[in-house]
Amino acid sequence: MDEATARTTEGESPTDDCESESASDEVERAPDATAAAAAGGAAGDDADAARARAAVYGLLAAAFDGDHDTLAGALCDGTLADLAVRFPGDADGGALDRPDLDAEGLRVGYDNLFVVPGPHYIPPFASAWADDPSESFESDSPYHDAGAAGELLGDPAAVAARSHAAVGFEPERGDAIPDHLAAELEFMRALCEREAALLADASDATDDLVAVRERQRETVGRLGWLDDFHEAVEAEDAVEGVFAALARLARTFVAWDAQHGIAAPDSGTVPPQ
């Protein structure tokens, strides 16, 4: 019995903040998994994988967008802990296993790490991590370190915005900053869902599939800054560690996805007869 199931049978205190509806639910399969499985074969596998990847991206996007209710739920019921444990190198598995955590605490933690430009700020968007012009960027803020965390809406934001625009994507997450982590993760979610939909669609969608996967590859290619980002969050979020662990998970997952998750361009398609 996997850990998630074990926990749900232990029963929880009714005063717990953890009131996720799924807390006592049985483990369920993702809704469309059945349909995709019915499609069979590699396409079905790819579709499952795409949906699974979409779910993870969506969850991480919510977490980095300050969607505290979703995050609290996922921490509470162990979803995130389970996920994290699957990836190599999760040394501190406990950080994401937080049935005790309240939404307010999460909110303050999130705000001070990713929104409030004060002493704990780790800007969660690519432009701030770009080398150029970051090294010489001047800020009016006394909290800004020289040579670090430069621009808002720099070139990486322009690139992200163009990429989103090319496929008609308008992010709802990420505080209107195109290269915000939440926006890009949301973008990946949408791309993965699109991939899954294309795979479920019986008609020949090869060109579209190739395009969508190429777009996914291009997007994760823009997330190289997550390494530095994670290290910075880990250094700052040293006490509670929830966001440090989330950053690690994001970094690890994205790296995994780049290597293993994104399917070959024509994977799962009907080979030419």
Partner 1 sequence: MSTDDSTDADAGGTEDEGPSLTRRDLVKAVGAVGAIGAASAATVNVDTDDLWADNTEHYVGDDYGEYGASDVIHTTCGQCNTFCPIKVRLADDSGTGEYSSLVRKLAGNPYSFLNTQPFSQVPYSSDPEEVATGDVAGSGDVDADRWSLSGGRICLKGQAGIQTAFDSYRVRKPMKRVGPRGSGEWKTVSWKQAIEDIVEGDDDLGHPGLRDLWGYAPEDEVMDDWEAVQSGELDKSAFDEKWGDALIDTDHPDMGPKANQIVDVGGFRRNFIRTRLWHQGLGSINSVHHAGTCGFSSVMGNVRSHAAQKKRQYPDVENCEYLLVWGTNPMVANKGPTWLAPKLTNAIEDGMRMDVVDPRLSKTAEKADTWVPVEPGADGALALGMARWILEHDRHDVEYLRNPAESAAAADGEPTWSDATHLVLVDEEAGPKARATDLGLVPADHELADDFVAVDASTGEPRPASEVETGVLDVSLTVDGTAVRSVWSLYRDRVFEHTVEEYAEMSGVSADRIAEVADEFTSHGERAAIMAYRGPAKHTNGFYNTRAIATLQHLIGNYDWKGGQITPYAGYSTMSGRYELGQVPDGHSPWGIPLLRGGVNYEDTTLFERDDGYPAKRPWFPVAPPQATQELYGSAADEYPYGVEALFIRPYSNNHVMAVAGGDQIPDILGDPDTIPLVVASDTVIGETSKYADYILPEPTYLERWENFGTYPNKRLADEKISQPAVEVVPDSRPFEEVLIDLWTELDLPGVGEDAIPDADGELWPLERAEDFYLKLAANIACDREPVPDASEEEMRVFRESHEQGLGDSFDLDRWKRAVSDEEWAKVVTVLNRGGRFEEPVDDYADRFAEHGHEYDYAERFDDSNAYDGDQMRYKLGSRVDFYSEVVPKGKHSYTGERFDPLPRVDDVEHYDGGVQAPVTDDGDPERPLRLINWKPRTQGMHRTTNSPWLRETRPQNPLWINPRDAEERGIENGDTIVIDAGRRTVEGVAMVTNGIRPGVVGAMWGWGRSGDGAVEETIDGETRGPVEDDGHTPYQFDEPMTEEAGLAKGRDAGFAINHLQPLDEELSDTGLSDLVGGSNAQYDAFVEIERT
**Whole-angstrom Cα distance, residue 200 to residue 92?**
38
Binding piece for partner 1, criterion CB under 8 A, among 9-17, 94-102, 209-217: 209-217
Q: Which of 11, 14, 119, 271 binds partner 1 (CB under 8 A)?
A: 119
272 touches partner 1 by CB under 8 A: no
What mask of x and - would describe binding to partner 1 in positions 87 to 116, judged by CB under 8 A? Answer: xxx-----------------xx--xx--xx
212 touches partner 1 by CB under 8 A: yes
User: Which value, to the nearest 10 degrees, does the dihedral of the CA atoms of residues 8, 29, 172, 18 take?
Assistant: -10
7 touches partner 1 by CB under 8 A: no
Size of the site for partner 1 (CB under 8 A): 117
Residues 126-155 that bind partner 1 (CB under 8 A): 127-128, 135-147, 149-154
Burial (CB < 10 A; 0-12, 13-18, 19+), residue 21, is exposed
Closest CA to 36 of 151, 165, 202, 168: 202
259 touches partner 1 by CB under 8 A: yes
Q: How is 19-82 classified by DSSP, letter by letter?
A: --GGGGSPP---TTHHHHHHH-HHHHHHHHHHHHHHHHHHHHHHHHTT-HHHHHHHHHTTHHHH
Q: Which of 12, 161, 224, 228 binds partner 1 (CB under 8 A)?
A: 161
Q: Which of 98, 194, 243, 250 binds partner 1 (CB under 8 A)?
A: 194
120 touches partner 1 by CB under 8 A: yes
Furthest CA-CA distance within the chain: 65
